[in-house]
Amino acid sequence: ARIFILNGPNLNLLGQRQPEIYGHETLDDVARDCAALAAQLGLETELFQSNHEGEIIDQIHRARAAAAGIIINPAAYTHTSVAILDALNAFEGPVLEVHISNVHKRESFRHHSYVSLRADGVIAGFGVQGYALALRRMAVLLG
């Protein structure tokens, strides 16, 4: 089964942007590690990143026919986007929400997530390892 790993704004700068918060690994590292783990789990991953809300929504719509599950780090759109929530509500498979940092330890505007109203599980504060943990959970949910 194919799993989409969708990433929101500024995550293209992962590894360069505030490394004290988000670490030194890049999104390419995440894509490579997830692809390797997925192969072990009998899954396939497709990683996508955009700085544009509508492009993320388009990928969620694509997932309706092309993916069994979605792992999403909506980045700042987590805290603002009813439109991404609505798109996820039109997707029938499992949805897992990942945040690299522990959003609950940070500014209060990061404590609320629209996407959590839909997510079947949430991981925050495990660094980029959160993507791999979400993938393992996805294998259980789809098993």
Active site residue 22: yes
Is 57 a binding residue for ligand DQA by CB under 6 A? The answer is no
Longest CA pairwise span in the chain (Å): 39
Cα–Cα distance, 130 to 143 (Å, whole number): 20
User: What backbone torsions phi and psi does residue 119 show, to the nearest 5 degrees?
Assistant: -65, 140
Site string for ligand DQA, 93-132 (x = CB under 6 A): ------xxx-x------x----------------------
**Chosen residue from 1, 10, 62, 142 binding ligand DQA by CB under 6 A:** 10
Distance from C-alpha of 65 to C-alpha of 98, rounded to nearest angstrom: 22
Closest CB to ligand DQA among 42 and 99? Answer: 99
Question: Helices marked H in the chain — which ranges?
Answer: 19-22, 27-41, 53-66, 82-89, 129-142
47 binds ligand DQA (CB under 6 A): no
**Would you name the residues annotated as active-site residues?**
22, 99
Residues that bind ligand DQA (CB under 6 A): 10, 73, 75-76, 78, 99-101, 103, 110
